[in-house]
Structure 1
């Protein structure tokens, strides 16, 4: 198997050196460079329990308890996912609110643009909200979640509030 791959690469190199067409070179480069696998899942708090908010401004949420980060496209330091390649990506987010006077609303944002929101207002006990979306992203596009101003989000060791995403297929 490895010998066949080496032989195919040598054949592609021969094509590159014998053909001057940039379109052939582009196709060969795409064939030789594998597209990375991209997937992540994280919950809001690394440990302990607590409510974040209310804050008098929209606030990017940083999901610190990273369960998986294949391809390293999600940053647990900034809360931002950066698309490594052009493709179709799917994201899901789950929000938990602990009953009280404040609502819990979280917005999925692409390059600063509001895409979808999940929200809940629970006066007592726990309330949950969820949403998901499939987006066409260009390499370098950024996706994050924002806590809506004057809202709250809750998490604890059970990891209720989560953010996940993965590359469905490159384009």
Structure 2
């Protein structure tokens, strides 16, 4: 009985020491594990990365804007070069045509403005004049000079008149009125024309013209210089 009394306290002491050692070992293991970085340090690092990204984005935006400006300038230069090439290719433009290709006839009078189609073409350098419509279309931007001559037998009620039209604008008119004999009139003009403009003649309202194989009524034009 004495032996049991002595051994039991010794066992308790050994168990207590063992538990203390186990707890100490566990605590040391926990302390030995690496702690995560400080949250403020992480935030500072993320903030620095964001600032760097913003700087890079601004740089890329400026670079894109510069490239867009260069591209726009190159396109403008190409357009100018294409225009220059076209001007160099179109060196000569000139035409001259009479009203009737054959026979003789009096045109008019009409109650409205009527286009005059000059069908007897003696020259059409550059093919800018269309004898099927009577319309001249400039192939290049430049200054063009036009002349037109009209005539008809005298008539007390119906004069002779033809107006030059640029697009839809009345420019100049050739007009003549006499009661007897054959009367003529003429006019001329220099116009700055763009590619795509149209120029033609209209018979004036309530007027008339007469033409035959002698070609009294003519329409001519030519390019003076490009611009």
TM-score bracket for this pair, using the shorter chain length: 0.7 to 0.9
- The equivalent residue for 1:116 is 172
Q: Which has a greater percent of helix?
A: 2
TM-score norm. by structure 2 comes to 0.63
The structure, 1 or 2, with the larger RCO (C-alpha pairs under 8 Å, 6+ apart) is: 1
Q: Once the 2 structures are TM-superposed, how far is the Cα of residue 73 of structure 1 from its aligned partner?
A: 0.9
Q: Out of 140, 143, 152, which is 2:208 matched to? A: 152
1:35-60 per-residue CA deviation (whole Å, 9 max, x = no partner) reads 41211000001111121001111000
TM-score norm. by structure 1 comes to 0.83
| Structure 1 residues 46-65: aligned runs within 5 Å | 46-65=101-120
- The equivalent residue for 2:95 is 40
Q: Distance in 2 between matches of 1:62 and 1:24?
A: 40
Q: Out of 116, 139, 159, which is 1:103 matched to? A: 159
Residue 126 (str. 1) matches residue 182 (str. 2): yes
Q: Out of 112, 117, 127, which is 1:72 matched to? A: 127
Most deviating of 94-103 and 33-42: 33-42
**Which entry has the higher C-alpha Rg, 1 or 2?**
2
The question of whether the paired residues in 2 share the 8 Å contact of 1:97 and 1:120 is answered with: no
Q: Which has a greater percent of strand?
A: 1
Q: Distance in 1 between matches of 2:173 and 2:102?
A: 26
**RMSD across aligned positions (CA):** 1.7
